[in-house]
């Protein structure tokens, strides 16, 4: 009998895949495919841009990690492809070619979308995955005041 170690990523993947069962993804997903995925880096950088204290999502390789993660998740890949394709269509040209202001407007529209429809569901899942992969990297934490442990002596009494 083999033991499968449950990791946070495996649990997250299972949860997300299960939630996708609530959606009916149209057959148009095959058309969205590779072209839509080309905008993934621009979307991730829109969600997690560089600032004075930390690098952007693509500078940390979040786009590559996410592509690797999606490789074994057919339904999740289809959802992300459809969402990215929607972003490309609504902008009139590929999302990655739009101005930063137009990109931000489309991301805001997607965020405000109903999470039971593809754009809204894609936004929330993509954002959760991006944040997970981004903050798993030490470089992303450089600007945060996290040097000391938040509770170095455990919980205060009466629980400690």
Digit-coded pLDDT (tens) for 6-37: 677 766 666 656 555 444 444 444 444 458 79
**Residue 57: alpha-carbon gap to chain centroid:** 10
Indicate left, alpha or beta for 48 from its phi (over 0: left) and psi (-120 to 50: alpha).
beta
Residue 61, pLDDT score? 95
| 149 or 24, greater pLDDT | 149
Dist CA 28 CA 43 (whole Å)? 21
Q: What percent of the chain has pLDDT over 90?
A: 57
pLDDT over 70 at 157, yes or no? no
Digit-coded pLDDT (tens) for 57-73: 999 999 999 999 999 89
Residue 142, pLDDT score? 77
């Amino acid at each position: 009998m083999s033991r499968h170690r449950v990791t946070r990523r495996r649990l997250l993947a299972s949860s997300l895949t299960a939630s996708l069962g609530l959606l009916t993804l149209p057959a148009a997903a095959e058309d969205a495919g590779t072209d839509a995925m080309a905008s993934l880096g621009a979307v991730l950088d829109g969600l997690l841009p560089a600032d004075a204290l930390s690098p952007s999502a693509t500078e940390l390789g979040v786009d590559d990690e996410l592509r690797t993660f999606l490789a074994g998740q057919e339904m999740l890949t289809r959802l992300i492809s459809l969402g990215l394709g929607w972003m490309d269509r609504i902008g009139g040209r590929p999302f990655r070619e739009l101005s930063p202001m137009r990109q931000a407007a489309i991301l805001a529209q997607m965020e405000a979308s109903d999470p039971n429809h593809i754009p809204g569901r894609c936004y929330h899942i993509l954002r959760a995955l991006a944040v997970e992969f981004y903050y798993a990297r030490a470089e992303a934490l450089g600007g945060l005041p996290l040097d000391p442990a938040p509770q170095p002596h455990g919980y205060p009494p009466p629980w400690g």
